[in-house]
Structure 1
Amino acid sequence: MIVEVVGGAEERPEVRVVDTDDLSRLHLALGQVTDEEADEVLREAGLGRLQDDGIGVLDTAALRAAAEPDADVADWAERWDRMVEEARSRGWVSEDGATLQVHVEGAAGA
């Protein structure tokens, strides 16, 4: 799963959740936007924020709510739970489970 922040209509960045069925990976991909623009649009969407260089923090419940409606695999919920537990075992989930820490990468074609 990828959370993308890319240039949108009228040069206004937009955020979207793509590859929702691939729960073997999760990262934040930034297109041709500044860190400030990416942070702003993530916060406005309620999906998260940039923490520092190369790290993003995503809201677990908001991400699930954005991704699950687009899921096409029958066992998506179980895959989601496994992904979160794997992230927890690596120390990437907040103590209360509310946020997931993810790596920031460049978006394809950016």
Structure 2
Amino acid sequence: MIVEVITGADEVPEVRVADVEDLGRLHLALGALTDADGDRALRAAGLGRLEDGTGFLDVAALRAAAEREARSPDWGGRFDAMVTSAADAGWAADDGASLRAHVEPAASA
């Protein structure tokens, strides 16, 4: 699953969740934006934040955003398994409500 923060219409950053069926990976893709702009966009969308170059994605908000696009009947269970696996691997944030995510350039950047 990918959370993309890209420059949208009128150069306003847009946040969207993509590849929701691929729960074997989770990362944050930033387009041609500063970290500050990416952070503001994530916070405004309610999906997370950027801190010192690390992405933090809110689990409940991510689930709500991605679930609308999911098509597999077992998606909810697979999402829960992804979150558990990430937490077991040390990717849970200190707040317990979010996961750390790799930050990569967006394909559309």
Structure 2 regions of 5+ residues with no counterpart?
none
The SS at the match of 2:68 is helix
Q: Distance in 1 between matches of 2:52 and 2:86?
A: 19
Give per-residue Cα distances to partners, 1:14-72, cap 9 Å, x unaligned.
Answer: 1000001110000000011111110000001111100112x100111000000001001
Q: Which runs of 4+ in 1 moved over 6 A?
A: none
TM score, norm. by length of structure 1:
0.94
TM score, norm. by length of structure 2:
0.95
What is the root-mean-square deviation of aligned Cα atoms in Å? Answer: 1.1
Percent identical residues: 61
Q: Distance in 1 between matches of 2:61 and 2:35?
A: 21
Aligned residues: 109
Do structure 1's residue 73 and structure 2's residue 72 form an aligned pair?
yes
Per the alignment, residue 46 of structure 1 pairs with 46
Give per-residue Cα distances to partners, 1:64-106, cap 9 Å, x unaligned.
Answer: 0000010011110111011001101111113563111111000
Contact 2:6/2:32 (8 A) holds in 1: yes
Do structure 1's residue 6 and structure 2's residue 15 form an aligned pair?
no
Per the alignment, residue 19 of structure 2 pairs with 19
Q: Distance in 2 between matches of 1:15 and 1:3?
A: 7
Q: Distance in 1 between matches of 2:103 and 2:95?
A: 22
The SS at the match of 1:77 is helix
